[in-house]
Amino acid sequence: MSSPTVLGIESSCDETAVAVLRDGRVLSNVIATQTIHRKYGGVVPELASRAHHKTITDTVDQALQDAGLGPDEIDVVGVANGPGLMGSLLVGLSFAKGFSLAYGKPLVGVNHLDAHIYANFIEHQERYPAVALIVSGGHTRLVRVDGPFDHTTMGATRDDAAGEAFDKIGKMLGLEYPAGPEIDRLSQGGDPQFAQYPRAMIREGLDFSFSGLKTSVLYDLKDRPPEEVRASLADLCASVSAAIVDVLVEKARRAVCEAGVGTLLLSGGVSANSMLRARMATMAEEEGIEIQVPSMIYCTDNGAMIAKTAEIRYREGLVDDLSMQPYASAAD
Ligand code: KG4
Ligand code: ZN
């Protein structure tokens, strides 16, 4: 049986992203990244919702055009309805409701964190049971996945998310928001042993804590003359990356062993990180497990992951209606 044609809409943070998926194949994947936040060093919620409002119609039109389909050829409308910024979520959700109503198509709400996990199944076979590590700008979470949407949280961050640590430390180093990709690039020419930063809670349970690392880097930078910081930028970046990656790899190793599963699903914006991908691959080999990681384009926020997750929810009979509401926090 062929899978439905799905329109996926993502607007939970600072990307207006829309994709079309047909028979499990991504026909189009349009991502409008908001640049306005750069000058503030982080996402400004009110500006984010206004920017979504401005771009949503054109982004949907572009995704349909790239896919070569008319709106009436869409079978299912998938939309991220949380967690995220309320004003931003409302823009995508209202658009999706309007589309669903106008064309008489079923509406499927998608949890943004689930979408990061299921992004793996755009290019890989669905595999259960598995452990998923979600590492994004807003979340760091280990989840046991026993079947479609059968999830148990094994660990989560107690303070900053891994991506947030990259971004905040990048700001201290004078890098533009979001700093993760630039730290990654600079790290490739640096010495990860240059500075010894803490690996908080690395031997303790499956929760994470990254705020101490931020403070430790702050004090370390205060002790170094500005010209030394500039000259050692690559080494400092590599040391920061190693501190974050060490913790993520060790916790993922422990979670997979504790759960007794043979598959690790890596996902979220930080899973684009080259040091993390390389170190996870080595760990997977050592533990004899399979590791799935999405292509770079499906790691950071995108519409295809929403469409894929909506496709699986629809298959499982999980359909919503026009009363669906957005929610801000993962716990809601
Ligand atoms: O998943 P995502 O696009 O948005 C959220 O749901 O948060 O993740 C964005 C985060 C940002 O913190 C960004 O700095 C980080 O992912 N990021 C990276 C890399 N690419 C994106 N962090 C480290 N290395 C990268 N290559
Ligand atoms: Zn995300």
Region 133-162: mean pLDDT is 97
Q: Which atom of ligand 1 is nearest to the CA of 84?
A: 6
User: How many A from CA of 273 to the centre of ligand 1?
Assistant: 8
Would you call the peptide bond into 83 cis, given omega within 30 degrees of 0 as the criterion?
yes
Predicted confidence at residue 43, as pLDDT, reads 80
Can you give the pLDDT at residue 331?
A: 66
Contact 26, 99 (CB under 8 A): no
Q: Are 328 and 88 in contact (CB under 8 A)?
A: no
Mutate which of 43, 166, 177, 240 for ligand 1 pocket (most atoms within 8 A of beta carbon): 166
Q: Which tens digit of pLDDT belongs to each residue from 208-241? A: 999 999 999 999 999 999 999 999 999 999 999 9
Q: Check if 136 has its Cβ closer than 6 Å to any atom of ligand 1.
A: yes
pLDDT at 19 over 60: yes
Question: Hey, whose CA ends up nearest to atom 14 of ligand 1?
Answer: 180
62 CA → ligand 2 middle, Å: 22
pLDDT given for residue 15 in this prediction: 86
Atom of ligand 1 nearest to the CA of 185: 26
Q: Give the Å distance between the CA of 231 and the centre of ligand 2.
A: 33
Tell me the one-letter amino acid at 78: G
pLDDT per position as a tens digit, 65-118: 999 999 999 999 999 999 999 999 999 999 999 999 999 999 999 999 999 999
Nearest ligand 1 atom to the CA of 116 is 1
For range 158-165, the mean pLDDT? 96
- Residue 311 and residue 275: Cα distance in Å, rounded? 32
The residue type found at 174 is G
Q: Which atom of ligand 1 is nearest to the CA of 179?
A: 14
Q: Is 235 helix (H, G, I), strand (E, B) or coil?
A: helix
User: Comparing C-alpha atoms, which of 14, 116, 11, 84 is closest to residue 332?
Assistant: 84
Q: Measured on CA atoms in the order 129, 303, 109, 327, is the torsion positive or negative?
A: positive
Distance 228 CA to ligand 2 centre (A): 35
Ligand 2 geometric centre to CA of 301 (Å): 5
Strand partners, 152: 144
Report helix, strand or coil for 78.
strand
10 lines ligand 1 (CB under 6 A): no
Ligand nearest to the CA of 245: 1
pLDDT for 1: 62
332: pLDDT strictly greater than 60: no
